[in-house]
């Protein structure tokens, strides 16, 4: 409705605008037409005069110059020939000699010649020889200004030529006043017709121009609106782009400054979207983005804004909501995103990480809100939680940490990772029975980075999946390459809790052992108690699979977590590894020794092998042997060593009791 009204108003405006040039054109054309009509009128009179001259004047004159006066015959014939003419309505007919005297006047045929007077019309004719009729009023003439009624007429002076001769010499002038009214009637009628045509033509032109200008302006208007829209919207999804998003935040902040209600700014990152693009193609990726964009937009409340910030990132401005309500709203949004998408009949599921910040708590300006939401998103992406509110000083805001995550990804691909092996010693034979594989990161610029630092990073990003596969693949293939020289040592490999929620990981491990032709009894997987707190069902199923394939599972860092004893009995594990925090200082602290002793006892009762790690001294070694611990590991026997050093140290192994000195830690 409003649009209609606007359109009509704009049309009216253009109509008025183009009316001006149309009117100017009309005025000019009118001037031309009128002048033409006037000229025609004068020409008509001149033609009448010529006809009179040719029919009734020149033929009756002998050809003598009129200055010499008329002969009686001439005068008599003139009277006769002009009689008709005067009766036909010609107002005046005079013959003038070349000096201006009236030689003959049809009205007074017998009057003698008057005084020589050269009036304007005559002078003109004498000078140019060409008739120049003009509109005049009869009896206002200088020659006879006072006699008779004043009538509008056309005054024509024509040259009178001598007839018959070789050269047509002018012998006098004919002065005729043709009545103007009959000619004017004609003139006015034709002028009226011309005016009607002109008016019609101009009206048509005006309408045409108005419509043309209006429609052109409409097109330009539409085009410029489209351009404006393009500059502020994302081409793929049609959603606002980052520029408009920032604008919307600013707008919301300006409004909230009055209402003092909170605003939530959220950034949604789609997880593994790149993988969809890489494996299914960009076309599918685009379709997916469009489908999700529609779904997200439809889930919003009026007044909320959704924008595409680029790639797989979307932004949300949610006015009047913050805190718990915002968290709940965004959790719901995440669930909506995670709903199955059908792309050409293929079902697809996308998970999202969401980081958000709240005005005015986490930022006063659009810029600050976006930055804090971005930090929160980075934290969400590390896997701590899917929907994360910004927290001041959170570790994920640490730029070093963020760049290390990227570098670790790089490290996996470019050989910066390496496995070291630490010997495990059988307490009974006092000889090495196995090794534990421990990962090392030789960073090109930061030097060696401890696994205690980067393993949690990998665990928090999902990078732990490929990393663990790399460790298993490397450890198993190296074990296979050692050959009989190192006997039938086992290798213990650390597996993170998060690995055990990955579908198919146990089967993959079994398959890799078969591939490298490694006896499953030579591989132990060390898992921690947290494996069972995350996704117990999945972890238990994986362990059952591994157990069935003959691979032992060890419960690492035992004592650190909170495994219930009934639970412990149900797990299909083969080994307990007492956490080194109890072992290292067990001789100094009786309670630690008591725990170690109890765990060894408990493990044996449940049928597990018991390993003690962090054995640094001979005294602890002896104590553990007395407590009937099965396997020991620690600096006392060996540091973790690279593959080549391990080989040398194993071939040259001597039991600790026979050594003079204890290796330093
Ligand atoms: P962990 O599984 O408890 O590994 C044993 C850690 O104790 C190793 O530290 C080892 O160097 C250290 N250690 C060995 N003997 C002694 C000793 O006598 N005294 C003391 N104080 N420490 C000793 P490292 O290599 O720095 O690894 C630290 C942790 O990083 C590991 O603890 C493990 O949780 C993790 N990690 C290492 N490699 C991997 C891996 O390939 N995958 C996974 N998921 N985690 C790994
Ligand atoms: Ca371990
Ligand atoms: Ca451990």
**Closest ligand to residue 455's CA:** 1
> How many CB atoms are located within 10 Å of the residue 311 CB?
12
| 632 contact partners, CB below 8 Å, separation of at least 6 | 424, 425, 427, 611, 612, 613, 615, 621, 624
- Nearest 10 degrees: Cα torsion 459, 463, 465, 466: -140
- Atom 45 (ligand 1) nearest CA: 494
**Closest ligand to residue 579's CA:** 3
464 CA: nearest ligand 1 atom: 44
Separation of CA 291 and ligand 2 centre (Å): 45
Query: What is the maximum span of the chain, computed from C-alpha positions, in angstroms?
Result: 180
Nearest-5° Cα angle at 538, 533 to 401: 60
471 CA: nearest ligand 1 atom: 41
Separation of CA 420 and ligand 2 centre (Å): 12
As a 3-state breakdown, the chain gives helix, strand, coil percent values, each rounded to 5, of: 50, 20, 30
Distance from the Cα of residue 128 to its chain's centroid: 79
| 190 contact partners, CB below 8 Å, separation of at least 6 | 37, 40
> H or E stretch including 648?
helix 643-651
Peptide bond just before 164 cis, omega within 30 deg? no
Provide the token pair at 544: 């059952």
Which residue, chain included where needed, has tokens 């209402």?
A: 259
Cα–Cα distance between 22 and 281 in angstroms, integer?
A: 60
Pure H helices in 233-386:
242-259, 273-280, 282-298, 323-338, 366-381
From 418, 424, 438, 576, mutation site for ligand 1 pocket: most ligand atoms within 8 A of C-beta: 438
Supply φ then ψ for residue 349, to 5 degrees.
Answer: -125, 135
From 440, 462, 476, 494, mutation site for ligand 1 pocket: most ligand atoms within 8 A of C-beta: 494
List all residues whose CB is within 6 A of at least one atom of ligand 1: 422, 437-439, 450-452, 455, 468, 471, 494-496, 556-557, 580, 584, 613-616, 634-635, 640, 665
Cα–Cα distance between 115 and 205 in angstroms, integer?
A: 59
From 561, 613, 616, mutation site for ligand 1 pocket: most ligand atoms within 8 A of C-beta: 613
Provide the token pair at 257: 């400054």
Please state at what angle helix 399-413 crosses helix 451-461, rounded to 10 degrees: 90
Separation of CA 613 and ligand 1 centre (Å): 9
Provide the token pair at 496: 């993170």
Q: Is the dihedral of CA 596, 600, 606, 610 positive or negative?
A: positive
Beta carbons of 75 and 95 less than 8 angstroms apart: no
Beta carbons of 374 and 355 less than 8 angstroms apart: yes
Distances in whole angstroms, Cα of residue 626 to Cα of each of 427, 469, 599, 631: 10, 38, 14, 12
DSSP state of 2: H
Cα–Cα distance between 288 and 282 in angstroms, integer?
A: 10
| 577 contact partners, CB below 8 Å, separation of at least 6 | 526, 554, 555, 556, 557, 558, 610, 611, 612, 613
420 CA: nearest ligand 1 atom: 25
The stretches in the chain having pLDDT less than 50 are 660-662, 664-665
Separation of CA 453 and ligand 1 centre (Å): 11
| 288 contact partners, CB below 8 Å, separation of at least 6 | 273, 276, 341, 343, 348, 350
Separation of CA 549 and ligand 3 centre (Å): 24
Cα–Cα distance between 248 and 317 in angstroms, integer?
A: 7
Q: What is the pLDDT of residues 627-643, one digit of tens each?
A: 999 999 999 999 999 99
How confident is the model at residue 352, as a pLDDT?
A: 92
How confident is the model at residue 223, as a pLDDT?
A: 92
Where residue 260 falls (left for φ over 0; alpha for ψ -120 to 50; beta otherwise) is left
Q: What is the pLDDT of residues 142-201, one digit of tens each?
A: 555 556 677 889 999 999 988 766 667 889 999 999 999 988 998 999 999 999 999 999
Which residue, chain included where needed, has tokens 């691979």?
A: 551
Cα–Cα distance between 186 and 43 in angstroms, integer?
A: 13
DSSP state of 91: S
Give the closest residue to 355 by CA, choosing from 382, 319, 336, 337: 382
Nearest-5° Cα angle at 577, 469 to 492: 30
Provide the token pair at 480: 């296979």
Where residue 595 falls (left for φ over 0; alpha for ψ -120 to 50; beta otherwise) is alpha
Give the closest residue to 240 by CA, choosing from 289, 302, 319, 308: 308
How confident is the model at residue 655, as a pLDDT?
A: 80
First to last CA, the chain: 86
Which residue, chain included where needed, has tokens 């020149």?
A: 58
């Amino acid at each position: 409705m409003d649009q209609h009204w606007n359109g009509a108003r704009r049309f009216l405006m253009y109509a008025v605008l183009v009316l001006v040039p149309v009117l100017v054109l009309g005025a000019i054309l009118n001037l031309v037409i009128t002048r033409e009509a006037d000229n025609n009128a004068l020409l008509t009179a001149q033609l009448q005069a010529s006809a009179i001259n040719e029919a009734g004047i020149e033929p009756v004159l002998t050809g003598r110059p009129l200055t010499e006066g008329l002969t009686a015959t001439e005068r008599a014939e003139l009277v006769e020939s002009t009689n008709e003419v005067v009766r036909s309505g010609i107002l005046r007919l005079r013959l003038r000699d070349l000096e201006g005297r009236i030689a003959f006047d049809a009205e007074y045929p017998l009057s003698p010649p008057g005084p020589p007077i050269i009036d304007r019309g005559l002078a003109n004719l004498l000078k140019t020889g060409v008739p120049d009729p003009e509109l005049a009023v009869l009896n206002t003439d200088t020659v006879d200004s006072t006699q008779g009624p004043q009538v509008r007429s056309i005054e024509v002076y024509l040259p009178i030529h001598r007839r018959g001769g070789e050269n047509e010499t002018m012998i006098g002038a004919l002065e005729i006043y043709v009545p103007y009214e009959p000619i004017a009637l004609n003139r006015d009628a034709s002028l009226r017709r011309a005016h009607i045509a002109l008016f019609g033509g101009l009206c048509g032109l005006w309408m045409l121009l108005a419509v043309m200008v209006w429609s052109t302006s409409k097109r330009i208007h539409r085009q410029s609106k489209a351009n404006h829209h393009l500059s502020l919207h994302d081409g793929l999804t049609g959603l606002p782009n980052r520029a408009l998003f920032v604008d919307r935040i600013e707008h919301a902040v300006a409004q909230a400054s009055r209402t003092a209600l909170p605003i939530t700014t959220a950034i949604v990152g789609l997880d593994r979207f790149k993988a969809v693009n890489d494996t299914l193609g960009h076309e599918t990726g685009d379709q997916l983005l469009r489908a999700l964009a529609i779904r997200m937009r439809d889930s919003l409340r009026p007044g909320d804004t959704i924008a595409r910030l680029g790639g797989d990132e979307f932004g949300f401005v949610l006015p009047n909501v913050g805190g718990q309500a915002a968290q709940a709203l965004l959790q719901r949004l995440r669930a909506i995103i995670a709903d199955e998408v059908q792309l050409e009949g293929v079902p697809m599921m996308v998970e999202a990480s969401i980081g958000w910040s709240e005005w005015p708590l986490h930022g006063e300006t659009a810029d600050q809100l976006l930055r804090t939401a971005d930090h929160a998103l980075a934290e969400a992406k590390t896997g701590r939680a899917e929907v994360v509110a910004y927290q001041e000083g959170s570790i994920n805001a640490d730029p070093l940490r963020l760049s290390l995550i990227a570098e670790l990804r790089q490290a996996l691909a470019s050989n910066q990772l390496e496995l070291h092996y630490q010997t495990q010693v059988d307490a009974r034979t006092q000889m090495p029975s196995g090794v534990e594989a421990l990962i090392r990161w030789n960073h090109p610029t930061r030097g060696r980075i401890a696994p205690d630092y980067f393993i949690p990073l990998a665990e928090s990003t999902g990078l732990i999946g490929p990393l663990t596969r790399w460790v298993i693949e490397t450890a198993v293939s190296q074990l296979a390459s050692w050959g009989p020289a190192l006997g039938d040592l086992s290798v213990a490999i650390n597996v993170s809790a998060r690995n055990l929620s990955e579908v198919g990981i146990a089967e993959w491990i079994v398959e890799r052992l078969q591939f490298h032709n490694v006896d499953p009894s030579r591989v132990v997987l060390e898992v921690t108690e947290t494996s069972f707190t995350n996704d117990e069902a999945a972890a238990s199923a994986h362990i059952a699979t591994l157990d069935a394939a003959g691979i032992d599972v060890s419960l690492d860092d035992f004592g650190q977590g909170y495994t219930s004893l009934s639970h412990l009995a149900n797990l299909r594990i083969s080994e307990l590894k007492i956490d080194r925090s109890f072992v290292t200082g067990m001789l100094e602290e009786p309670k630690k020794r008591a725990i170690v002793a109890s765990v060894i006892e408990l493990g044996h009762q449940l049928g597990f092998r018991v390993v003690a790690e962090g054995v640094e001294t001979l005294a602890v070694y002896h104590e553990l042997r007395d407590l009937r611990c099965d396997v020991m590991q620690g600096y006392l026997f060996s540091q973790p060593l690279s593959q080549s050093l391990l080989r040398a140290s194993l071939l040259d192994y001597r039991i600790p009791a026979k050594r003079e000195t204890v290796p330093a830690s």
